[in-house]
């Protein structure tokens, strides 16, 4: 996907079909990587093919499938800081907290180099990203919003999906917190804003406001486990 100079590559990792996004501007050779997944070699191969260096590793949250590639990316690009919401930072180094241990594979990441909270701005590789804290799927889940593109883009992790939302039946989950955060902090964005979720295909704020069965105009109840 390309909007003017912006180029975003989606890389899907098995077995949980997690989306990693590599974002760059076409006139630069550095990039930012969102949520390195469980098949980091796919990401590293793409970076090598495109001759890209990583300026920042951004985690939307601390669940194992979204941090599984942190160690490999950090080893390849030690100068790139790992960034995550402050309340999810402990999950990076604890396989029980990040739930990979419960899933039968134990994953840990290098610790965070930088933690963020609601209202912060992170800058790297020419990007200026607004941080919005939206708990409910995990306590410290954040989304990164690129407002300077047209349309705006949300790197959203497991908050808002095409036709669904992130699971809230996990430890420390809350449907009330997640739905409130979506309505207050995402549905207030311009209607043409593109949402790049942690699983599945992209969607738009307008489409989800109108049709999402959990948080849209007709939504009123928690989702089944997704």
Question: In this structure, what token pair is assigned to residue 178?
Answer: 């997640």
Share of the chain above pLDDT 70, in %: 94
pLDDT value at 131 more than 60:
yes
For range 14-31, the mean pLDDT: 96
Whether residue 1 is predicted with pLDDT greater than 50 in this model: the reply is no
For the record, the structure tokens of 96 come out as 């029980």
Q: Cβ neighbours of residue 58 under 8 Å, at least 6 residues apart?
A: 32, 33, 34, 35, 83, 84, 122, 129, 144, 155
Q: Is 163 left (phi over 0), alpha (psi -120 to 50) or beta?
A: left
Protein fold of 2-211: Metallo-beta-lactamase; Chain A (3.60.15)
In this predicted structure, the answer to whether residue 113 has a pLDDT above a threshold of 80 is: yes
The pLDDT of 168-173, averaged and rounded, is: 92
Mean pLDDT of the residues in the chain: 94
Indicate the pTM of the whole model: 0.94
| Residue 224 binned pLDDT confidence (cut-offs 50, 70, 90) | very low
């Amino acid at each position: 996907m390309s909007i003017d100079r912006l180029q975003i590559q989606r890389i899907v990792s098995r077995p949980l079909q997690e989306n990693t996004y590599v974002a760059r501007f076409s006139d630069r050779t550095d990039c930012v990587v969102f949520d390195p997944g469980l098949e980091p070699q796919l990401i590293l191969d793409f970076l090598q093919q495109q001759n890209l260096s990583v300026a920042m590793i951004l985690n939307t949250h601390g669940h194992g499938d979204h941090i599984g590639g942190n160690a490999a990316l950090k080893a390849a690009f030690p100068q790139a800081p790992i960034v995550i919401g402050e309340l999810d930072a402990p999950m990076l180094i604890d396989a029980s907290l990040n739930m990979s241990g419960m899933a039968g594979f134990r994953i840990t990441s290098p610790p965070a180099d930088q933690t963020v909270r609601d209202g912060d701005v992170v800058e790297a590789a020419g990007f200026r990203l607004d941080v919005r804290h939206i708990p409910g799927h995990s306590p410290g889940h954040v989304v990164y919003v690129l407002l300077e593109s047209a349309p705006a883009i949300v790197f959203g992790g497991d908050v808002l999906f095409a036709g669904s939302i992130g699971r809230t039946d996990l430890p420390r989950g809350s449907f009330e917190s997640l739905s409130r955060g979506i309505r207050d902090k995402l549905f207030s964005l311009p209607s043409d804003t593109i949402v790049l979720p942690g699983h599945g295909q992209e969607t738009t704020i307008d489409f989800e406001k109108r049709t999402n069965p959990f948080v849209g105009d007709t939504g009123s109840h928690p989702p089944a486990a997704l």
